[in-house]
């Protein structure tokens, strides 16, 4: 049986697990490495050029052409809508989702988080959440604690970066959540909301043209 897979370390590790299980059942297998468009494209954002299935499309084609008999994918890469003639035949047991922190100086997780950094990150995430638009929206927020205040800078740009709405202000640490939401709303009202909407529409059109 010919197993098709990408050539990344993760993909090969997963394909090898499947290969070993099949061979333990007496089925001879070989692994065929297939380079996908997601592997080849390194000079531009994938969402702008490849659409959905960037890491599975060529492997799907090989399956449909009879060049391979089985494909191994990370489930995160597989679109929910599959080509006619292909099915998800089996799923491996889920591995632990937990990560491990290994430090040189013996720092323990119990000693985290670093409170000032956590506070700054919370401010930034609240502002970005209010602005919306997802990961494609050209928005930014930066907070830095200075005593009992946070110096906050946030902005929204147009896709081509020719237009910008920017806000910079000192907010009190005590009411940081309230003021962070206020800054996000002010950015939207001053034109940032319109720029976010334009970005969302732009990327929707790009994906629709693929």
- Report the CATH number at residue 28: 3.40.190.10
Question: Catalytic positions, please?
Answer: 77
User: 26 lies in a domain?
Assistant: yes
Q: Which domain holds residue 44?
A: 2-77
pLDDT for position 46: 59
Q: Classify strands 149-157 and 164-172 as parallel, antiparallel or unpaired.
A: antiparallel
36 pLDDT exceeds 60? yes
Specify the CATH number for the domain of residue 147.
Answer: 3.30.160.40
66 pLDDT exceeds 50? yes
> pLDDT per residue over 175-185, tens digit each?
999 999 999 99
User: 142 lies in a domain?
Assistant: yes
The answer to whether residues 151 and 144 touch, using CB atoms and an 8 Å cutoff, is yes
What's the CA gap between 152 and 136, in Å, rounded?
A: 22
Q: Are residues 38 and 129 in the same domain?
A: no
165 pLDDT exceeds 70? yes
User: 175 lies in a domain?
Assistant: yes
Q: Are residues 60 and 124 in the same domain?
A: no
What rounded mean pLDDT belongs to the chain?
A: 88
Q: Are residues 42 and 121 in the same domain?
A: no
Q: How far from chain centre, in Å, is Cα 50?
A: 15
Q: Averaged over 52-75, what is the pLDDT?
A: 90
Q: Could you tell me which residues are beta bridge partners of residue 153?
A: 142, 168
User: 82 lies in a domain?
Assistant: no
Handedness of CA 118, 122, 124, 125 (dihedral sign): positive
Question: What's the number of domains the chain is made of?
Answer: 2
pLDDT for position 54: 77
């Amino acid at each position: 049986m010919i197993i098709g897979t990408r050539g990344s370390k993760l993909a090969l590790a997963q394909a090898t697990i499947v290969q070993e299980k099949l061979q333990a059942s007496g089925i001879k297998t070989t692994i065929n490495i297939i380079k996908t468009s997601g592997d080849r494209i390194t000079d531009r954002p994938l969402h702008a050029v490849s659409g959905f299935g960037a890491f599975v499309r060529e492997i799907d084609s090989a399956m449909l052409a009879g060049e391979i008999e089985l494909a191994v994918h990370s489930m995160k890469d597989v679109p929910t809508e599959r080509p006619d003639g292909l099915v998800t035949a089996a799923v491996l047991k889920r591995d632990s989702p937990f990560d491990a922190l290994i430090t040189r100086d013996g720092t323990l997780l119990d000693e985290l988080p670093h409170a000032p950094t956590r506070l700054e990150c919370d401010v930034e995430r609240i502002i970005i959440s209010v602005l919306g638009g997802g990961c494609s929206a050209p928005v930014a927020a930066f907070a830095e604690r200075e005593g009992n205040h946070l110096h906050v800078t946030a902005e929204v740009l147009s896709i081509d970066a020719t237009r910008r709405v920017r806000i910079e202000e000192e907010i009190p640490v005590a009411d940081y959540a309230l003021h962070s939401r206020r800054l996000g709303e002010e950015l939207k009202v001053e034109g940032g909301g319109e720029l976010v909407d334009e970005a969302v529409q732009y990327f929707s059109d790009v994906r629709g043209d693929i």
